[in-house]
Structure 1
């Protein structure tokens, strides 16, 4: 399916520039979700058809990042995936994170280890023989900054440091693979446009060998009742019991994404982001997230309220206006925001 045809499956109100907060669902996902909610209302089905969408979602996410489905674990939040990984760190571990990292990829490490920080673009050089793990976002939530991934992986390999990435602001518009990564977590309600309550994680075999399923439950095990304690093979041993309706809508959305050429989505998003940058007097960039200092117009919060009155929905992060552009965004959405700013 080409991108122009696919975009007709989304129905955003004009001025939605906030996918970095949450993405909008395509029509097939809403249709399937409405069907499931009607089934729930009337008790007209068993839960198994809903659970089948969990299997479909796992397979679709694995395809999206080029990983085996057996290496994919399911959760409701990225922070819960990181928390399970954190329990595998030995006492005295040190975890390096960017100094502007979103706290869902900071607090789990702070509960289990000593946290060191560095500027996002100097993360690689801050890795030392004492660094047990480096945890970072592939794309920073507040600024849209893309991590220097190749440099981080090279430095981590030199010191046998675990490489752990948050892909929540990347998967869905930026090509993402697991090459060189020990773990990856993704909250799917942003650029993957799934309901909140669906999250995916990649756990490498070498990392899983160090981990214990600290959130063990009936879904991660092989039996619904009683002992003995037995775990599912592969990364499924670390699954949370799924929020079914989140996956009912996640499955068709991820499958639709896999029918599209991610290069087309990437090009579309960057073209719109750079259209906004040009209109706002910024140089071209390489991210679908743009952070804009609006001091001349007032505080970030004041600017955000001004844009909202003009029909533009954006966000304020770290005191700056944040706008984000996805496949359903149009040039008219960009121009509406620029007109409101000027």
Structure 2
């Protein structure tokens, strides 16, 4: 599907520049969710049909992050929950290196291991590659930083980590859905699905490399992590899936019903076209404010009274680290950018 054709699947109010906070659902996702809610309201159907959206989403996500095997993808609820078994499996006394501006979903799980002697070193994002050394056991970072949209040097970080035998844990929440990347290079790629992949909050996905899974214990395992979930309702013995599904948690059905069509649409349009569109709009804002263009769909600007100016113009953006953060996606338009520029330059 061409991007301009896909844009007809949204009718947002002008001025939504905040996908980095939450994405807007395309019409197929919204319709699927409304249908499921209507069925739930009157008890028209059983839940199994809603549950099929999980594996549909799992397969689409696997393709979206570079074509990893779907059986290496776990379905959860939040990034921190998906990273928790990785953190718990770190040997006592391990060292984790993290950017100093890292969103805490990819920081607190490591810090929570302090009582076992796990140490977390925070360094500037630009110095992350050089900070990886022989004492590093795991490197954790966001592919795109939430605070300012900065892109991590993914390939270089992975190469430095491999050179020193360190694991790599990536939070791709602010990247997946607009930025093409090879998720299979990392050991873990976790994504909260309510931002750039435009699902309802309550669903998250993670690639877990097979060699890493061997080290992990599925402490949150329930019936849905079973080899056959429908034969795992009652009683012993423990009978978990052999692949990444053993780290699944029981799904919040409606989150997945709304997510699956959005993921399919992203694949249909293609990430290269989405990236080109999103970054072009971000750069239109930057150049309009006299700033150099960048490579991210998320930008931050420092303009006196910027938040108040944008609010008066009906532009919805965010404030992070004291700066206005604007973020652009498929449904964003030139008119949205110009509305923000008029507010910030008038």
Specify the TM-score bucket, using the shorter chain as the normaliser: over 0.9
**CA deviation vs aligned residue, 1:99-144 (integer Å, no higher than 9, x gap):** 0000111000001221101110110110111111000000000111
Indicate conservation of the 8 Å contact 2:96/2:119, yes or no.
yes
Deviation at 1:318, TM superposition (A): 0.6
Deviation at 1:176, TM superposition (A): 2.1
Indicate conservation of the 8 Å contact 2:184/2:209, yes or no.
no
Deviation at 1:204, TM superposition (A): 0.1
1:281 aligned residue: 290
2:91 aligned residue: 90
Moved more, 170-179 or 320-329: 170-179
1:51 aligned residue: 51
C-alpha distance in 1, partners of 2:169/2:105? 13
Q: Which of the numbers 300, 304, 327 marks the counterpart of 2:307?
A: 304
Deviation at 1:96, TM superposition (A): 0.5
C-alpha distance in 2, partners of 1:319/1:45? 48
The runs of 5 or more residues in structure 2 that have no matched partner are none
- Partner SS, residue 307 of structure 1: helix
User: Residue 229 in 1 paired to residue 230 in 2?
Assistant: no
C-alpha distance in 2, partners of 1:98/1:135? 8
2:202 aligned residue: 197
- Partner SS, residue 191 of structure 1: coil
TM-score scaled to structure 1, two decimals? 0.97
User: Residue 120 in 1 paired to residue 132 in 2?
Assistant: no
Deviation at 1:306, TM superposition (A): 2.7
2:157 aligned residue: 152
Deviation at 1:257, TM superposition (A): 1.1
C-alpha distance in 2, partners of 1:231/1:93? 28
C-alpha distance in 2, partners of 1:292/1:224? 52
C-alpha distance in 2, partners of 1:108/1:78? 10
Q: Give the alignment's Cα RMSD to 1 decimal.
A: 0.9
Q: Which of the numbers 269, 279, 283 marks the counterpart of 2:278?
A: 269
C-alpha distance in 2, partners of 1:150/1:46? 45
C-alpha distance in 1, partners of 2:261/2:183? 23
2:319 aligned residue: 316
User: Residue 5 in 1 paired to residue 38 in 2?
Assistant: no
Deviation at 1:151, TM superposition (A): 1.2
C-alpha distance in 2, partners of 1:178/1:265? 18
- Partner SS, residue 179 of structure 1: helix
1:101 aligned residue: 102
The runs of 5 or more residues in structure 1 that have no matched partner are none
**CA deviation vs aligned residue, 1:59-83 (integer Å, no higher than 9, x gap):** 1111111110100001110111111
TM-score scaled to structure 2, two decimals? 0.96
- Partner SS, residue 275 of structure 1: helix
Alignment CA distance shift 1:141-1:7 (3 Å): same
C-alpha distance in 2, partners of 1:228/1:308? 58
**CA deviation vs aligned residue, 1:156-195 (integer Å, no higher than 9, x gap):** 1111000110100000110022232011000011100111
User: Residue 72 in 1 paired to residue 73 in 2?
Assistant: yes
1:34 aligned residue: 34
**CA deviation vs aligned residue, 1:4-26 (integer Å, no higher than 9, x gap):** 11110011110000000000000
Moved more, 19-28 or 227-236: 227-236
Q: Which of the numbers 187, 192, 211 marks the counterpart of 2:192?
A: 187
C-alpha distance in 2, partners of 1:57/1:179? 18
- Partner SS, residue 224 of structure 2: coil
Moved more, 305-314 or 125-134: 305-314
Q: Which of the numbers 147, 159, 168 marks the counterpart of 1:142?
A: 147
- Partner SS, residue 70 of structure 1: helix
